[in-house]
Amino acid sequence: MADLIQEEWAEQLESDNNAVILDVRTEEEYEEGYIPNAINIDIRQGQGFIDELEKLDKSKTYYVYCRSGARSAQACNIMNQLGFEEAHNLLGGIMEWEGETVEE
């Protein structure tokens, strides 16, 4: 797992053809605004979160974020334990994100 500051996270994401953006916040938080093209899997679902992760392609590179960076760091650790080799945590989360966001 790599903890990346916003600039590194955004730069790597932009140049990565194998990238998937993963938002691990609650559905309510997600609907308030998210990074474009992010998929939402709530880490607070416990086993449900793990079940959803198991459906993902482990060969992809995952750019993971939450509100502040704590849940996404935890998610990256879980992903590494499940065999995901590339999971990058956004330090500071969406609270410090200065890029584009989408609201539902």
User: How far is Cα 59 from Cα 30, in angstroms, rounded to an integer?
Assistant: 25
66 is an active site residue: yes
Give CA separation, 90 vs 47, 49, 51, 55, 63, in Å.
Answer: 23, 19, 23, 22, 7
User: How far is Cα 102 from Cα 37, in angstroms, rounded to an integer?
Assistant: 9
Catalytic site residue from 43, 53, 64, 66: 66
Catalytic positions are: 66
